[in-house]
Amino acid sequence: MAAPADLAGVQVLAFDIFGTVVDWHGSIVRELQELYPEVDGDAFARAWRAGYQPAMARVRSGELGWTRIDELHRLILDQILPPFGLAHLDEAARRHLNRVWHRLDPWPDSVAGLTRLKARYTLCTLSNGNLGLLTNMAKRAGLPWDCVLSAEVFRAYKPDPATYLGVANVFDLAPAQVMLVAAHHDDLAGARACGLRTAYIERPLEFGAGHPKEVAPRPGNDLHCASLLALADRLGC
């Protein structure tokens, strides 16, 4: 099977990571159950993630200077520990827990899907996660990236155009030769506004089985797929 004719020019697939390639919610819940079984892992994971956009907004507004996601995750963590009864954690325990984001597990289809796609396309990350985090995650999870790119490289958080256009610039390509693959419509809309092609991946359990996410197709995306294996099918890999 060949890729759709109108996508024949795509050379690079850039991937959102949190929620698209790795299961942040399930991974955090599992680790909390092992370390602190008295804590509601589902609520803790969602509270931690809820602080993500507001923390990045502080950087975008200039309230904070450039701050990596590792440090933003730590700011959020320190805020949510007391309400969950974990204010007593010492520095070593806080640092270890904060690095759970480096240890996120891939969705079951991710490694096999990426491996198939890699046979035809150059694969890179395009995540707000910092370079060390993304590299450690890939090493542990076996994610076969050709290149690790991050908001850290461009000193801008998605959906800043500098991130999407930055990928095209890195590979000396036109924006339409890059496809963003993501499970978040706002991310895809930002990429589309910069001229990138877009593929939506359904991740209905991103926020856990108790909080299913609506994943119906929306106009504008070039592809809508149930998994990365389905994306490989659609692209003829």
Q: Which domains does the chain have, with CATH numbers?
A: 5-23+104-234 (3.40.50.1000), 25-102 (1.10.150.240)
What pLDDT is attached to residue 34?
97
What pLDDT is attached to residue 6?
87
Q: Average pLDDT over the chain, rounded to whole?
A: 96
6-10, 85-89, 217-221: range with highest mean pLDDT: 85-89
Return the exposure string of 51-71: e unless at least 16 CB atoms fall within 10 Å of the residue's CB, then b.
Answer: bbeebbeebeeeeeeebbbbe
- What is the average per-residue pLDDT within 34-56? 96
- What is the average per-residue pLDDT within 41-54? 96
**What is the percentage of the chain residues whose pLDDT exceeds 90?**
97
What pLDDT is attached to residue 2?
60
Q: Is the pLDDT reported for residue 1 higher than 80?
A: no
